[in-house]
Amino acid sequence: MASAYGARVRAVLWIALVAGLVFVGLQFVRPTLTNPPVTAELQAPPEVRAVLRQSCYNCHSNETKLPWFDQVVPAYWLVNKDVKEARAHLNFSEIGKLPAAQQRGALFEAVNMIQMGAMPLPSYLRVHPGAAVSAENLKVLRDYLMPPTPAGATPAADTSAADAQYKGWITASGAPLKVQAEFNGVEFLPDYKNWKAISSTDRPDNHTMREILGNDVAIKAIAEHHINPWPDGTAFAKVAWAQQPDGKGAVQTGAFIQVELMIRDSRKYASTKGWGWGRWRGMDLKPYGKNADFTNECIGCHEPVRQNDYVYTMPLGGQQ
């Protein structure tokens, strides 16, 4: 009996020794994670950057500082992958090279994710509770992004110009405009103007208003309460205009800014969450993307509503 017990003890010790050696050996399998120079930090007030530095910079900047427990493999492997993906999506150390409006737009999307509980990642917060964004810090970010609406009415000349542009937008005239497909291959759908309005929203950070339109497949899905997932063939258009205040508290459409399309095809667009994404800007409808990678920006923005098939819009009167 003693001999058998001793053999078991020796076996356990050998297993522990081998496991320990494997664990130590794995510590040397470390993909490189460097901190490149900070070339163009976000242009924002110090109090805004302080909040971001506390809650976001460890993943979304070139100033990553890993605590000791993130340095240990296999945790290091997971953190390494997450940091590289986070920097590729949004890097506060390099975003300053973009125009100020684009910087604010990227920050708006980040704050939206914080408000919806998608960022910082819940799994990250469980082991990094200090990264949580308090209500006070969230207010600092929101206050920065919500500039006051311009006082007074829009000049009459600007109103007349916007009205004329809007009439041109809703009325087909002359030869149809030839619009280049997005860089990911998504084709522009000129018939979107004839789709039905299903919702509306605004962006107080940049004083724009948006109308969301749905094609016949989308309208049928809404009527049949089949919106999660949306059926293949569903298409949405989000049309954005600048806001024009009338000086009495109301606003109307100003200059046309852009139209965005989401087209559902679970097979064709399987690699982009089942949706084809496109954005065309200005009255000449120039594609937004510089290459097909712009789709990552779209998906990242819609990630907080993945449980709703990546669709923010809840149709008026059409919720499940």
Domain end among 145, 176, 191 = 145
Domain end among 110, 145, 180 = 145
- Quick: pLDDT tens for 276-302: 999 999 888 899 988 888 888 888 888
Higher pLDDT, 274 or 32: 274
Total domain count for the chain?
3
The verdict on residue 2 lying in a domain is yes
Q: Is 16 exposed, middle or buried (0-12, 13-18, 19+ CB in 10 A)?
A: exposed
Residue 2 neighbours by CB under 8 Å, 6+ apart: none
pLDDT at 108 over 60: yes
- Quick: pLDDT tens for 202-242: 887 788 889 999 999 999 999 998 998 999 999 999 999 88
Both 6 and 94 in one domain: the answer is no
Q: How far apart are CA 228 and CA 310, in angstroms?
A: 9
Going by pLDDT thresholds of 50, 70 and 90, the confidence category of residue 17 is low
Cα–Cα nearest to 35, from 52, 7, 60, 16: 60
- Quick: pLDDT tens for 187-198: 999 899 899 999
Domain end among 119, 145, 171 = 145
pTM value? 0.69
